[in-house]
Amino acid sequence: MPDSPISAAEESDQPEVSIIIPARNEEASLGSCIESLVSQDGVSFQIIVVNDQSTDRTREIAASFPKVCVIDAARLAANWTGKNNAVATGARAATANWLLFTDADTIHLPGSLARALAEAKAHQVDMLSYSPEQIAVTFWEMAVLPVVFAELARQYPPSKVSDPNSPDAAANGQYILVKREAYVTVGGHAAVASSILEDVALARAFKSSGRKIRFRYAADAVRTRMYRNFRQLRDGWIKNLALLFPKPSWLALKLFLLWTIPWFALVLAGARVTSRGWLNLIFVGALLYVTGRLRRANFDFVMEFLGALFGMPMFAYLLWRSQKAHATGSVFWKGRTYEGQQPAQDVNLQNHPVTGPFS
C-alpha cells in the first residue's frame, strides 16, 4: 500500500480534488462508497480513507482498491471527537486545492464529482454542501426520517443558508466540498475539534469569516443510508437532535400534543361523548394536517403517512432523550462517549426527501 495519496487520473500529478473518507467500522458500506467514487470522471482526484481504529474489515476493504490511499487516524487527543480527528488527519495528507469530505455510507452518482466542482466554481462559493437522498429500508427509518427532516426544513430553509445576507449557516457532513485555502484560513476541523455537529460548526466558521457557502438537497449527486437498524437510528439521533433545535423540549411537547389530537377525537367519537360526525371530521382533518406537515421534506405519501401515525411520537421521544443525554453529559456514538453540548443556532441536514424505500 503506498504511503501517499494516488491521483485517480494517472496522467495527472496534481489532483483537482482530494476525497477524504473517515471510516470507523464501516465494512457494511465502505466498499460501495469507494466503488462509486473510483469510477468518477471529468476531474482528477485522489481518495484518502482514514481508518479510525476499526475492529472490522474496514481497512482491508479500503486497501483492496489500488487507487485508494489508506491511512490511520492520528491519536485521539482530549477535546477532539473521533470524526473531527479522522477528517483532520485526512486533510493533512491531501494535496489538492479542493477537499471533499464525505462519509463511508454515501453512494456517489456517475459524474457527480465533476458537476459539484463546476457548481462550486460557477457560484463562486468556498463551501458546497449536499444533503443526500436518504435511503430508508426498515419500518422505523421510513417512519422517523420524514418527521426529522420536515422539522429541519421548516426551521432552517436551505435558501437562507445559501444567502450571503442571512446569518444562517449549515452543512451536511456526508458531503462537504471546500476550497483548501478557505478551509485552512478558518482553521479547518481543528477549529471545531470538540463539536459533535462538526458540519454545522464548520459552516458557521466559513460564513462568519465572510466566506460564501451553498447548500442544497442533491438527489442528483449522492444518496445515503444513514442507519441500518433501530439501535443505530436511536443512538445517531440522540447524539444530534438536541443540538439541531434551539428549544428541543418545547418542540418535543408540541409535536406530541399535535399527534394526539386526531386520536383524542377518535376516542371521544367511540365513547359517543358528542356528535360523532363532528369528531370524525376533526379526526380526519387533524390526521391530514399532521401528514401534510411532513410534505415540506418531500417524502412520498406512504412515508409521510407512516411518519404521521408512528414517526411523530418517536421523534418526540428521541428529541427528549437527546436533550437528556446532552444535559447529563452521556452522549454515546460508535463506542465513544462525549460530553453534552448546547443546542446549535444553525443546523445541518435540511429538506431531505426519500424516494424509496430502497432495498
Domain boundary assignment for the chain? 17-132+172-228, 231-331
* Inter-residue long-range contacts of 299-305, CB under 8 Å, 24+ positions, other chains counted: 299/145, 299/146, 299/149, 299/150, 299/353, 299/354, 300/354, 300/355, 302/142, 303/136, 303/142, 303/143, 303/145, 303/146, 303/354, 303/357, 304/146
**DSSP assignment of 168-183, as one string?**
-----TTEEEEEHHHH
Q: Locate 157 and state its grid cell.
A: 430553509
Give the per-residue pLDDT at 287: 78
Report yes or no: 256 and 311 within 8 Å, Cβ to Cβ.
no
| Strands annotated E in 252-347 | 331-333, 336-338
Q: Rounded to 5 degrees, what are φ and ψ at 98?
A: -120, 140
Give the per-residue pLDDT at 192: 94
pTM of the model: 0.85
17-132+172-228: CATH topology: Spore Coat Polysaccharide Biosynthesis Protein SpsA; Chain A (3.90.550)
- What are the mean pLDDT values of the chain's consecutive 10-residue runs (359 residues total)? 42 84 96 97 97 96 96 93 96 97 98 98 97 93 94 85 92 96 96 92 94 94 94 93 90 91 73 65 76 82 90 95 88 81 48 29
Give the per-residue pLDDT at 276: 64
Give the per-residue pLDDT at 277: 67
